[in-house]
Amino acid sequence: MGEDLFRGPKRAFEPIRDHRPQHAADLPLGVPKFIAAGATGGEVRMADKQGRIIMAHLEPGQVSPFRPVRIYSTGTTVTPINAGY
């Protein structure tokens, strides 16, 4: 994975619609700068760069500073999940 210096957005705000949360694959566009809940809030189960599992509750439309490498299907109820790159 390339170096991430957080100097600003490399890509636009993109929905993670083409990547269904799963256990065996990292997010295809890399580590986002943030994630945001769509119309349905709920729980997000994710892993960070160190492999730690994080559970977070997001309200509908809430932007979160979490920068997950992976979002798991089991335990995630937020739909859709959007990411800022």
For every one of its 85 residues, what pLDDT tens digit does the chain have, with 9 covering 90 and above?
A: 455 555 555 555 556 644 456 667 888 888 998 999 989 999 999 999 999 999 999 999 999 999 999 999 889 999 888 888 8
| Residue 42 · residue 56 · CB < 8 Å | no
Model pTM score: 0.75
Residue 2 inside a domain? The answer is no
Q: What is the pLDDT of residue 41?
A: 92
Residue 32 inside a domain? The answer is yes
Q: What is the pLDDT of residue 21?
A: 61
Domain interval for residue 47: 13-84
Count of domains forming the chain: 1
Residue 59 inside a domain? The answer is yes
Residue 57 inside a domain? The answer is yes
Element (DSSP H or E) covering residue 70? strand 70-71
What is the SS3 string spanning 31-61? CCCEEEEEEECEEEEEECCCCCEEEEEECCC
Residue 4 inside a domain? The answer is no
Q: What is the pLDDT of residue 73?
A: 86
Residue 27 inside a domain? The answer is yes
Task: Report the chain's terminal Cα–Cα distance, integer Å.
Answer: 14
| Residue 77 · residue 43 · CB < 8 Å | yes
* Whole-number Cα distances in Å, 18 to 5, 27, 58: 26, 10, 21
Residue 54 inside a domain? The answer is yes
Q: What is the pLDDT of residue 4?
A: 55
Q: What is the pLDDT of residue 43?
A: 95
Q: What is the pLDDT of residue 18?
A: 43
Residue 5 inside a domain? The answer is no
